[in-house]
Amino acid sequence: MWKLACTAGVVLLSTGTILAQDRQDPPEVLNKQTDAKEVLGHWFGKKKAGTDTTAKKPSTISTLPSAGFNPSVGLSVGVTSTAGLVFGDPKITTMSVLNTNAYVSTKGLIQVEAKNNIFTNDDLYNIQGNVQVGKTVGLDYGVGTGSRTRGEQGFSFDGLPLSSNSDVMPLTYSYVKISERVYRRVAKNLLFGAGVIFNIYSNIDNERKMGVNDRSHNYRYSINHGFPTAGYTNNGLLLNLEYNSRDHINRPYEGMFIDVVLRTNEKWMGSDRRATQLRTELRKYWGLSKINREHILAFWFWGSFLINGDLPYLELPGTGSDQTNRLGRGYTIGRFKGQNFAYTEAEYRFPLTKNKLFSGVVFANAQTSSAQRAINDINLGEYVEPGGGFGLRILFNKYTRSNLCIDYGIGTYGAKGIFIGLNEVF
């Protein structure tokens, strides 16, 4: 949850090379652009007389400091390292990326994470993996959309509220998350894959130490659905079908991305309960100008649907459940969740300066979830929570189309806040 603030700190503190998985734009396009790296280099860097740096090969390894602050987690410091390698003919093989990061905060939060996104020669195979170990805090609003009796959420920064709310129950917990997927290209832009996932939660404890008769949402849900209250395990198998025709991963100008995942949580793998989920994602990008490719209309759909079985509380899909925890700008992470969850968003992206250093976005989104409650059940689509806002983009590295995103979003029940991250939300 807190990773976004940490990511923003990495961007602001570094001038190193951040690698992407895509080949860079042609020189005639890049020469007309100015990014933050060049601006910072001009302000703080000095070239030695007679030294030509234009032909210097970019470093494939970058280690960057990170820092951030949020009242909910305190002051944090950490380090991030990125390495780029090509396992095949560089003309036809996408660069593989290995990422590691670690941070610790003054309020006891800690995380160590390692990711791999490896491409074999000619992109025949793609291996994606992630390992996370840490202790964090999650903000608990209960299940379902349409909670109109609650007080206003108030202002938030980067996914966490800045003021207390009687309806928000912070939960601390420790976790180990491991996943690994292997994809094989079966046709142009089409890949089929399979993998495993292990999610283990422990030491779940409501920070407010609620009384016996007024337990947390996690406690009540776990009792009602037959899960342990202090920790549980959710391990399973994955089957994936992916279509990707985007021209770039960090900042697409055109193309489409479709991902369909069938996940089965199995008791023989250690899960407390068996369950089957279908997760779907669609991203589509339309270029609105042949002269200026930064004018883009983008659309995003993300959905998770429980086919059978049951899920532990911290595994319920909801706001911020995507891989980068940025789904649902306008609301804090975990604001809405349920056994089934659907989300859609549209965004218009446009340049602000001729050199592409600054650009802007306007966006609108909506989310809905289903939930089983003691009094009455909520069906998917019964209540829809809208959100929207606008944002500024700062081109951080033009060679990888990496940018710093600063958004202001609003939602229902007084929800509003500033959201910061590296690269486009989708």
Q: Which domains does the chain have, with CATH numbers?
A: 3-45+58-422 (2.40.160.50)
Residue 143: pLDDT above 60? yes
Residue 7: pLDDT above 60? no
Euclidean distance between the first and final Cα of the chain, in Å? Answer: 17
Residue 34: its pLDDT value, please? 75
Average pLDDT over residues 29-52: 63
- Contact yes or no for 408/391 (Cβ under 8 A): yes
**Which one of 15-19, 119-123, 300-304, 327-331 scores highest in mean pLDDT?**
300-304
Distances (CA, A) of 345 to 291, 331, 351, 360, 413: 26, 14, 20, 16, 19
Compute φ and ψ for 250, nearest 5 degrees: -70, -40
Residue 21: its pLDDT value, please? 43
Residue 96: pLDDT above 70? yes
- Contact yes or no for 9/423 (Cβ under 8 A): no
Residue 30: pLDDT above 90? no
More confident residue, 125 or 212: 125
Average pLDDT over residues 179-183: 94
More confident residue, 155 or 230: 230
Residue 345: its pLDDT value, please? 98
Average pLDDT over residues 303-320: 94
Nearest Cα residue to 134 out of 81, 78, 88? 78
Q: In the structure encoding, which two tokens stand for residue 40, read together?
A: 């910072």
Nearest Cα residue to 318 out of 301, 306, 333? 333
Question: Which percentage of the chain shows pLDDT scores above 70?
Answer: 76
Residue 253: its pLDDT value, please? 92
Compute φ and ψ for 267, nearest 5 degrees: -65, -35
- Return the ∠ at Cα 325 (arms to 215 and 302), rounded to 5°: 100
Residue 55: its pLDDT value, please? 47
Distances (CA, A) of 344 to 145, 319, 324, 327, 385: 15, 11, 16, 9, 11
Residue 13: pLDDT above 50? no
Residue 268: pLDDT above 70? yes
Average pLDDT over residues 244-273: 92
Residue 396: pLDDT above 50? yes
More confident residue, 166 or 367: 367
Report residue 4's pLDDT band, with 50, 70 and 90 as the boundaries.
very low
Average pLDDT, the chain: 80
Residue 24: its pLDDT value, please? 59
Cα–Cα dist 385/414, whole Å: 12
Cα–Cα dist 19/400, whole Å: 6
The mean-pLDDT minimum among 72-86, 158-172, 220-234, 250-264 falls in: 158-172
Question: Which percentage of the chain shows pLDDT scores above 90?
Answer: 40
Give CA 290 to chain center in angstroms: 30
Report residue 382's pLDDT band, with 50, 70 and 90 as the boundaries.
confident
